[in-house]
Structure 1
Amino acid sequence: MIENLGQALAETRNTGRSVRFSVEVTPEGTVRIVHPPENEGVTGTKEAERAPGSGLARAKARGEALAARILGREDMVTAEELARRMGTTRVTVNARRHAHQLIGLEGATRGYRYPTWQLNRDGRPFAIIPDLFTTLGDSPWTLYRFLTQEHAELEGRTALAALQAGEEKRVLSVAASIAEGTFA
């Protein structure tokens, strides 16, 4: 059974599609993996997303429109522009994004955009960024939201404003509280 689960995980990673199977256990203790035919069963997520007028399709469209507006802001720049501001190369910027040392937001059509505000006065990324990824997870959009959202624990300021005021430890504490589902 574990082997079948491993095969299903590999298949979904390779194809980018969900894989369904059922585990059938008989009263005698026999275990059998059952793969449903391709068109059998409940409508899959992809079909639901494409259904015109579905709530999921509308929500997805709203999310994509919001992402496009965010990525189109003046404070969002390309890897080349951020590299220029940092005094480095585009390759270095992309490597630092992969290493979770920079926040790079990906959109549907515009590629990656980098918020300029993640650089301190010296043109270096805030040193806390890798710790925020570790605390809040791998999604750069999660970090973006955390940093630009006002937090009661920071007297209603954004986490970014607190970072710019030199309050790294406090920002990390708020991030940890959010990740744990508790509040300071």
Structure 2
Amino acid sequence: MKKTLIIIGVVVVIIAGVLTYLRFKAKSYSPEGNVEFSDGNLKIHVFYNRPYKKGRIIFGEGKLVPYGKTWRTGANEATVFETNADLQFGDKILKSGKYSLWTVPNEQTWQVVFNSEIPSWGINFNGEALRNPPTDALIVEVPANHPKDDKEFEQFTISIEKGSDGSELNLFWDKTIVSVPFSVK
């Protein structure tokens, strides 16, 4: 009995060590990023992981991020978007709170999805996004822009910028820029 417990304990320690190693190894390829945005009383925080292009074609049929499929909008853990105020995206309202941020890329438009569930990891073992559509809090569709000057963004980047008519949540990677306008409700 004592020998069995020792064997089980050793196996548990080895598995925990391997999982910890794999998690930190994955982080070295897609480091964490944080976006902090403040405007008056509004505070937004975005946590995400920033994968690199590394010579790959990122978006398209059969590519790293296929068109028409939910993407975790980064790498590793699900991307987290937190706001302390209600936000207006077009005619839709996102209540203050903490959300996972997902996207469904297509060549001309992207769906940007704020979901009330925040899974600890962005995909399952089959590589499918862990988004749960019944818990989507808000979906907005925006144009995908492809710079004419062949500008490429090597590392996936999220930014939030203040504009004259509100603010924009921006996503940059490869040859694609997606801007999502919003204002404080």
**TM-score of the pair, normalised by structure 1:** 0.27
**TM-score of the pair, normalised by structure 2:** 0.27
Bigger radius of gyration among the two = 1
Higher relative contact order (CA 8 A, sep 6+): 2
* Structure having the larger proportion of residues in strand: 2
